[in-house]
Structure 1
Amino acid sequence: MKKRILSFWEIWNMSFGFLGIQFGFALQGGFMSRIFQTLGAEKDAIPLLWIAAPLTGLLVQPIIGYLSDRTWHSRLGRRRPYFLIGAVLSSIALFFVPYSPALWVAAGFLWILDASINVSMEPFRALVADKLTESQRTYGFVVQTLVIGIGTWVASNLPWLVSQLGVSDSAASGIIPNSVKVAFAIGAFVFLISILYTVFTTSEYPPEDMEEFKKEKSKKNQFIPDILNNIGNMPTTMKKLGVIQFFSWFAFFTMWSLANPALTEHVYNTAAPIQSLYDMSNAVEVSAFNSANTAFQKSSNLVGSAMGIYGLSSMVFALLLVLYTSKRKINRKYVHMFSLFLGGLGFILMYYASPENLKYCFVLIGLAWGSILSMPYAMLSSSVDPKKMGMFMGIFNMFIVIPQIIAALGGINFVSGLLGDKAINAMTVAGISLIIAGLCNLLITNKSAISYQS
C-alpha cells in the first residue's frame, strides 16, 4: 500500500496523545521519589522502590507490541484501542497516587501507573512507522519529541505553579502536600483528553491483505516463540542501538529516581527530614520537623521546575530538527552522539551547580533527551520489517528497561558509592554513562540507519 505524504498538522494530531503520556511520565519521574521520601523512604532505598517501572515495561511493551500488530478494529484501527485503554487506566492511577497512605501503597500505584502508561505509549512509536513513508520517519519522531518536550516542561512545573496559586506545600508527617495532589489530578485530566484527541483525529491504514491478516490472526497463538525468535534474529543495527540505549537509560533512570534527594540536599541544602531524629512528643521538635519538611517540599518544587527545563530544551531541539529535517538530510549517528555528550556534561556540572544556575545543567540534558526520543527510533525504523514494527518496537524497549532494572537492583548505589557517599555522586555517574552512550554511536555503520532523506 502506497502511503501518502502527511502534513505537519496531520503528524501533530497523531503525536498529540504523547502530551498526556509525557504528563504521566514527567509527574512520575519528577515527583515519585519525593512522594517516597515524604512517606519515609531513605534515599538509598529509592532506586529499589522504582523497580516496578522498568519491570512493568519489560513485561508490557513486547506483549502490547505483539497484540497491536495482530489487532484490527473496524472503527479504532490497530494501535488506537491500546491508546484508549491505557489512557483510562493511567488517568485513574495518576489521580490516586498522591493519596497513598503508606510507602508500599505508593510503590504499588507506581506499578499500576507505569503499566498503564506503557499500554498507551508503545503503540505510539509503531504508529509513526505505520503512517509515515520512510522519507518522513525522522520528521515524525522529531515531531513526537516536540510534543513530549512540551508535556515534560509543563507537567514538571505543575506543583510549583499550583503552589504559586496558593495551594499549600505544607502537610503533616507522612502526608503528601495538596500542591502535589492537585498537580497529579491535572495530569490525569490532560492524559485522557490528549489521547482522546489523537484517537478522534487520526485514522490508520488497514492491513494490505485483510484476508491474509485474518488468516494469520486465526492461527494458534505463538506469542512466546515469536518473541524469542525475533529476539534471536534481531537486526545487527538494532543490537548496536541497544548498547547505546543501555547507557542512555541507565543515566536517565538515575536522574528520575535520585535527582530529588541529590539536588535538594546538595544544591538547596534542604534534605528530607528524618522523623526518627525528632522527638515528636515535644512541641518545639514537632515545629522544627514541620519547618524542615516544608523547606524540603518547597525545594522539591524547585527541583521539579528545574527538571522541567530539560523538557523545554528538548522541545527547542526538536523544533529545530523539525525545521531542518523537513527539507534536508541529517546524520542521525553524529547528531545523537554529540547530543549525548552534552547531556553527560550537564549531569557532571550538577556537582558545581547553585540554585541560580542549575537550570543550565538541565538545558544540556534536554538536548540529550530530545535526541534519545527520536534518533534511535528513526535509525531502528529503517532497519526492521514493517509488518513486525510493533513487536520490534516492544523488543527494542527491552534495551530501555533492562538498564533501569540493573540500576534499581543496586547498580546506581554501587557505582555512585565508588565515588563516595554523597547523593550528588549519582548525577556524576549519570553523566559518565551518557558520555559512554555517545561513544557507542561509533558502532553504527548501516548507511540507511545513519542518514535518510527526510
Structure 2
Amino acid sequence: LLRHAPKTFWTVGLVQFFCWAAFLYMWTYTPGAIADTVWGTTDTETEAYQTAGNWVGVLFAVQAVGSVLWAIVIPRFKNHKVIYALSLLLGAVGFISTLFITDKFVLFISFLLVGCAWAAMLALPFTILTNSISGKNMGTYLGLFNGTICVPQICAAALGGVILSLLGGRQVSMLVLAGIFLVVGAICVSFVKETYPEVQDETVRE
C-alpha cells in the first residue's frame, strides 16, 4: 500500500513532519522559554519559574480558544492549500514573537496565532488525504498516515537536546525554531496536489 500510495500521502506527510516537530518543541520548551523571557529566570527551583509554568497552562488554554475560533474560519476557504499555508504562517508568527514579548498578557496574541496552526493541522491534512484516495483502502491509509504524527515527534525529541545546545541553551530559541519549522511546512504545502479519485473514476466511466 505504501508503494502505491498517492503522491498526496507523501507530500502532506512532509508538511506534517515540520508541523508536529514544531509542536513537540512547544510542549517541551514553552515553560522554560516563558520563565526566561517574561519572569527573567531559568532556575527551576524558584517561585517565579513555577508561576511561569502555571501561566503556560493559561497560554495553552488561549491556544485552544484560538483553535476553535479559527476552525470556524477554515471552511470559508474553498482552496485547502491556501488556508493550510496561511494557518501555518500565522502559527509561525505566534511562535517567533515569543522571543520579543516580555508581557505575559501580550503572549495571548502569540498563542491565539499558534491556535490557528493547530486548527489547520487537525483538520486539513486528513481532509486533503481522504479526497485523494478511494474508499477501498481509506481506513488503512489513514492508519498509516498517523505515522506522520508520531515519527516527527520522535525525531524532534531525539534531537532536541543537541539542537538546544547548538542554539546556546535558551529555550525560547526552540520556539523560534518551531516557528521556522512552520514556515518550512507552509512552503511544503505548495508541493501538495489535491486529487479526487471518485471524480476521476466517474470521468473514466463516461
- TM value normalised by structure 1: 0.41
Matched AA of 1:341: L
After superposition, the C-alpha distances for 1:112-134 in whole angstroms (9 at most, x for unaligned) are: xxxxxxxxxxxxxxxxxxxxxxx
In structure 1, distance between residues paired with 2:168 and 2:43: 20
Q: Would you say 1:433 and 2:186 are equivalent positions? A: no
In structure 1, distance between residues paired with 2:136 and 2:107: 45
Q: CA deviation at 1:351?
A: 0.3
Q: Would you say 1:252 and 2:23 are equivalent positions? A: yes
| Structure 1, 415-424 or 309-318: larger mean CA deviation | 415-424
Structure 1 residue ranges (4+ consecutive) displaced by more than 6 angstroms after TM superposition:
none
Q: Would you say 1:309 and 2:80 are equivalent positions? A: no
Please name the residue that 1:236 is paired with.
7
In structure 2, distance between residues paired with 1:315 and 1:246: 23
3-state SS, counterpart of residue 42 of structure 2: coil
RMSD over aligned Cα, in angstroms? 1.8
* Pairing of 1:79-228 with structure 2 (within 5 A): none
Please name the residue that 2:137 is paired with.
388
Q: Tell me: CA distance 1:389–1:448, structure 2 relative to 1, closer, same or farther (3 Å).
A: closer
Please name the residue that 1:334 is paired with.
82
Q: Would you say 1:295 and 2:48 are equivalent positions? A: yes
Q: Conserved in 1, the CA contact under 8 Å of 2:25 and 2:178?
A: yes
1:352 to 92, 100, 112: 100
Please name the residue that 1:267 is paired with.
38
Percent identical pairs in the alignment equals: 31
In structure 2, distance between residues paired with 1:434 and 1:424: 16
1:375 to 124, 127, 151: 124
Q: CA deviation at 1:233?
A: 2.1
Q: Conserved in 1, the CA contact under 8 Å of 2:18 and 2:182?
A: yes
Matched AA of 1:265: D
Please name the residue that 2:114 is paired with.
365
Structure 1, unaligned runs of 5 or more: 1-229, 275-291, 450-454
3-state SS, counterpart of residue 413 of structure 1: helix
Please name the residue that 2:167 is paired with.
419
What count of residue pairs does the alignment treat as equivalent? 196
Q: CA deviation at 1:397?
A: 1.2
Q: Conserved in 2, the CA contact under 8 Å of 1:343 and 1:367?
A: yes
In structure 1, distance between residues paired with 2:144 and 2:195: 22
Q: CA deviation at 1:270?
A: 4.1
Please name the residue that 2:158 is paired with.
409
In structure 2, distance between residues paired with 1:249 and 1:440: 14
Matched AA of 2:26: M
* Pairing of 1:13-92 with structure 2 (within 5 A): none
Matched AA of 2:185: A
Q: CA deviation at 1:390?
A: 2.5
In structure 1, distance between residues paired with 2:152 and 2:98: 22
Matched AA of 1:446: E
Please name the residue that 1:161 is paired with.
none
Q: Conserved in 2, the CA contact under 8 Å of 1:270 and 1:299?
A: no
* Larger Rg over CA atoms: 1
Q: Conserved in 2, the CA contact under 8 Å of 1:416 and 1:429?
A: no
Structure 2, unaligned runs of 5 or more: 198-206
Q: CA deviation at 1:264?
A: 1.8
After superposition, the C-alpha distances for 1:157-188 in whole angstroms (9 at most, x for unaligned) are: xxxxxxxxxxxxxxxxxxxxxxxxxxxxxxxx
Q: CA deviation at 1:299?
A: 2.1
Q: CA deviation at 1:231?
A: 2.2
Matched AA of 2:138: M
Q: CA deviation at 1:356?
A: 2.5
Please name the residue that 1:397 is paired with.
146
Q: CA deviation at 1:447?
A: 4.5
After superposition, the C-alpha distances for 1:64-97 in whole angstroms (9 at most, x for unaligned) are: xxxxxxxxxxxxxxxxxxxxxxxxxxxxxxxxxx
Please name the residue that 2:192 is paired with.
444
Please name the residue that 1:201 is paired with.
none
Q: Conserved in 2, the CA contact under 8 Å of 1:415 and 1:429?
A: no
Q: Conserved in 2, the CA contact under 8 Å of 1:254 and 1:426?
A: yes
Matched AA of 2:169: D
Matched AA of 1:358: L
3-state SS, counterpart of residue 98 of structure 2: helix
Matched AA of 1:382: N
Matched AA of 2:178: A
3-state SS, counterpart of residue 148 of structure 2: helix
Q: CA deviation at 1:444?
A: 1.3
Q: CA deviation at 1:244?
A: 0.3
- TM value normalised by structure 2: 0.87
